[in-house]
Amino acid sequence: MTGIIDYGAGNIRSVENALKRIGAGYVLSSDAAQLALCDRLILPGVGEAKWAMGNLSRSGLDDFIRNTDRPLLGICLGMQLLCSWSEEGDTPCMGIFPNRVLHFRNALPPDSSLKVPQVGWNDISSLKSGLFDGIAEGSYVYFVHSYFADINENTVSVTEYGIPFSSSLGRDNFFGCQFHPEKSGDIGEKILANFLKI
């Protein structure tokens, strides 16, 4: 059983629908005791980092997430919250990944014509995780984001949007995707299915 962590952030319905499409059982819960019974966990998220970390902290779910030994996948904002710090609201995050989360507008060259947020399809490369078993280098996935995680030893996929950034992270039982696998068609469903096997 997969536990979707409900902390008031958006995009939960699309994650639920994707799990249904691949035939995965799940429970949506904000109760750490119930989530602790699940085989694996998904931390979804669309929203603002400071608000989201406040919700997680007030509920105690931040400590539950830090201490879980279950495979856990953060999606979009969910991945960013697993990092050490976000430039969005100068927010200390959970510190599972030592990455910093930065705003494209402050990182792109001043003469860049790229739009922020990045919205749409982009490719992933330098694939280094079981998340990507059977996924070809250069596969396209769907992004909607203004903030990105920098690259370090926990980077397990890279995407270019004016600059290279971590489109996925992995460390021990923790994984993250900046893109939305639940909105990325067959490739995204394959990535989710791979996570369910970890």
Tell me which residues are annotated as active site: 76, 180, 182
Number of CB atoms found within 10 A of residue 58's CB: 11
Structural domains of the chain sorted by starting position, each given as residue range(s) with its CATH number in brackets: 2-197 (3.40.50.880)
Q: What is the mean pLDDT of residues 104-126?
A: 95
Give pLDDT, residue 47: 87
- Would you say residue 11 has pLDDT above 90? no
Share of the chain above pLDDT 90, in %: 94
Sign, CA torsion 10/4/154/62: positive
pLDDT (tens digit, 9 = 90+) per residue, 123-149?
A: 999 999 999 999 999 999 999 999 999
Q: What is the mean pLDDT of residues 78-95?
A: 98
- Would you say residue 10 has pLDDT above 90? no
What 3-state class would DSSP assign to 91? strand
pLDDT tier at 103 (50, 70, 90 boundaries)?
Answer: very high
Q: What is the mean pLDDT of residues 28-54?
A: 95
| pTM tops 0.85, yes or no | yes
pLDDT tier at 35 (50, 70, 90 boundaries)?
Answer: very high
pLDDT (tens digit, 9 = 90+) per residue, 57-73?
A: 999 999 999 999 999 99
Q: What is the mean pLDDT of residues 21-30?
A: 96
pLDDT tier at 40 (50, 70, 90 boundaries)?
Answer: very high
∠ Cα 83 81 111 (to 5°): 75
Which two tokens mark 76? 């979009």
Phi then psi for residue 102, to 5 deg, are -120, 160
